[in-house]
Every structure is written in C-alpha cells, then in structure tokens.
C-alpha cells in the first residue's frame, strides 16, 4: 500500500506521476523543471489528514454507529 504515495504534478503541462519515495519524486520534479522550465509541484497523499478523516466520517466500516452524522460530508438519506 506504499505504492504511489507521493505525487508529482506540473501546473503547466500534463506531467503527473506517482512515486513510492519522496526522494524519487523530488528528483523527477527537479528534472522536469530543468528540462521544461515548468513549475511542478508535489504532494504526499498518505499524509493527507483530510482524506483519512473523510473516510472515518463516512463510516466506511459499514456499521451504522460508525457514521458521524454531524459531518458536513454525510448526506441525509
């Protein structure tokens, strides 16, 4: 589950790749910027707290008591 946890995306073209390691991503980013002059950016998906929180609030385990009904992302039936 560690595959592709770091994503490098360019803001000026379609360059978009996922890497296992931050070091690989940074090299790819630097290479792309050097070759194209574009301003690329990277993000670490597995460290995104919002994603994990959204999963918890949606009650993905399936049990009724697990759903946080106060969450703005949970729609009423």
Question: Closest separation between CB of residue 29 and Zn ion, Å?
Answer: 10
Cα separation, 74 vs 6, whole angstroms: 28
Please list the residues that pair with 5 across neighbouring strands.
none
With contacts defined by CB under 5 A, name the span among 15-23, 43-51, 52-60, 64-72 that binds Zn ion: 15-23
54 is a contact residue toward Zn ion (CB under 5 A): no
Q: What is the distance between the terminal CA atoms of the chain, rounded to a whole angstrom?
A: 32
Among 18, 38, 42, 74, binds Zn ion (CB under 5 A): 38
Residue 36 or residue 48: which is nearer to Zn ion going by CB?
36
Closest CA to 16 of 49, 38, 47: 38
């Amino acid at each position: 589950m560690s595959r592709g946890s770091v994503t490098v995306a360019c803001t000026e073209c379609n360059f978009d790749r996922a890497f296992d390691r931050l070091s690989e991503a940074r090299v790819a980013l630097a290479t792309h910027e050097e070759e194209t002059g574009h301003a690329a950016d990277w993000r670490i998906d597995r460290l995104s707290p919002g994603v994990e929180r959204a999963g918890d609030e949606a009650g993905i385990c399936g049990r009724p008591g697990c759903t946080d009904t106060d969450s703005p992302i949970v729609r009423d039936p």
